[in-house]
Amino acid sequence: MQKKLAYKISTLAGVAIVMANMIGTGAFTSLGFQLKDMGHPASILTLWILGGILALAGAFSYAEVGTYIRKSGGEYAFLSEMYHPIAGYLSGWVSLTVGFAAPIALATIAFTEYFSFGDYNIKWIAISVIAVITFIHTKNLKTSSKFQIFSTLFKVLIMAVIILSGIVVAEQSEVTYEINQQYFSEIKSGAFAIALIYVSYSYSGWNAAAYISEEFENPRKSLPIALIGGTLAVTLLYTLLQFVFLKHIPAAELAGKLEVGEIAAKKMFGTDIGKLFGIIISFLLVSSISAMVWVGPRVTASMAGEHRLWQYFKVEKNQVPKRALWLQFILSVILIVTGTFEQIMIYCGVLLSMSTMLVVLAVFIIRRKNRKKSNETYRSPFFPFFQIIFLSGSLWMISYTIIHHPMETMIGLLNLILGLATYYWSNRLKPDASFNLNC
């Protein structure tokens, strides 16, 4: 009897994961805060294009490292092999404890607030949403893949409808994109630099496909397409979306406003349809939550294959790390109940940015020793141009966060110390015969 081949996901599913991880509420809400300190439309669009370039620079680098190492687990797998197991473990520890649980908690709370559930307990609704999505992803890879593709297609379709409608509908705001003194003054300002940090957060998730590289049919082909194609598509959608918002709403009406998308929808489609926009945004977030729920436990599963402390969370027979999925669910619930996820997002962002910087630096190491395998791996273009751009931008944003959020940075350091303790604890555990047999 011929052995049934394990199911592998398609390139389209990889692109869906990247786009779903990236597209959140930031594109629909942050423009109002950018317009508080900047008024030139061209500087706003420059902001979003630069954010996309930074994300693309990272995607190029991850595609090269990912096709060289070809292991699931993202930074955990890459840093363990390129530097030292401790570097990979600490990166995995951050991802395991808060790296995905905190964004999931934040996105789910946003889902409940946009949907407007009235007097019902928002926290319990958020927990129920995560539970349902987690259950879907415990079935099998085929189910996860289909759910992710369809939910992401819905998200992209809605954004495309808004953009195309905004382009076709007559302009309702006098906008000029003339490059003048005001433009140059704004892009050199501190306000522009601060706004770029938050725009970069809106682009976070561009590396999502690297966490599941072993689940692709053809990682050498699919991983670069998913990372680069997904990032390019989101950059285009984000930039066009801001263009449409600026086209239909005077900057003075948007400055300081959170519900930018709803205001724009009312301008373009009328009040009644505009009121539905909050509900539409909530459904867009389902795809984002799903992508993070799928990807996060793959880090835990990768760690479980090499560290005895986490062996209980290994991938099971159906290729799905069910126990790791439910562990992530529990961590997300704790963060929702305690309400600490917003503070965690700050120090988590610093630690994860450091991990991504190390992965991008690994491209330089690969170029030195990747002679024989050069035809088997993707090679990022214009080396080291994109790597330098990414490293410079990341270093600047990390420095800014450390200076302005010292308390959160200290908490992040304490989390790393705790992770280091669990690393040595895991190494001291007695060998388990079943663990050695399965790894």
pLDDT along the chain (439 residues), means of 10: 64 94 82 83 92 95 93 92 94 90 86 70 90 94 92 90 85 73 86 82 90 89 95 95 87 78 80 75 86 93 91 82 95 87 70 90 89 72 94 86 80 89 88 49
CB atoms within 10 A of CB 331: 19
| Structure confidence at residue 173 (pLDDT) | 63
| Structure confidence at residue 331 (pLDDT) | 94
In this structure, is residue 230 part of a structural domain?
A: yes
In this structure, is residue 168 part of a structural domain?
A: yes
In this structure, is residue 191 part of a structural domain?
A: yes
Which CATH number does the domain housing residue 59 bear?
Answer: 1.20.1740.10
User: Which tokens in the block code for residue 318?
Assistant: 């159906």
| Structure confidence at residue 201 (pLDDT) | 79
| Structure confidence at residue 260 (pLDDT) | 81
Q: Of 282, 24, 293, which Cα lies nearest the Cα of 132?
A: 293
CA 213 to chain centre: 16
| Structure confidence at residue 264 (pLDDT) | 81
In this structure, is residue 227 part of a structural domain?
A: yes
| Structure confidence at residue 153 (pLDDT) | 92
What pLDDT digit, counting tens, does each position of 286-323 carry?
A: 999 999 999 999 999 999 989 999 999 988 766 789 99
In this structure, is residue 259 part of a structural domain?
A: yes
Contact indicator for 291, 94 with CB cutoff of 8 Å: no
CA angle 183, 189, 194 (to 5 degrees): 115
CB atoms within 10 A of CB 206: 28
| Structure confidence at residue 438 (pLDDT) | 46
| Distance in angstroms (rounded) separating the CA atoms of residues 335 and 155 | 26
In this structure, is residue 90 part of a structural domain?
A: yes
DSSP per-residue letters across 24-66: SSHHHHSHHHHHHH---HHHHHHHHHHHHHHHHHHHHHHHHHH
| Distance in angstroms (rounded) separating the CA atoms of residues 390 and 396 | 10
**What is the amino acid identity at position 325?**
L
| Structure confidence at residue 3 (pLDDT) | 43
In this structure, is residue 233 part of a structural domain?
A: yes
- The parent domain of residue 72 ranges over 11-423
| Structure confidence at residue 351 (pLDDT) | 82
Give the count of domains, the chain. 1
In this structure, is residue 135 part of a structural domain?
A: yes
Contact indicator for 301, 313 with CB cutoff of 8 Å: yes
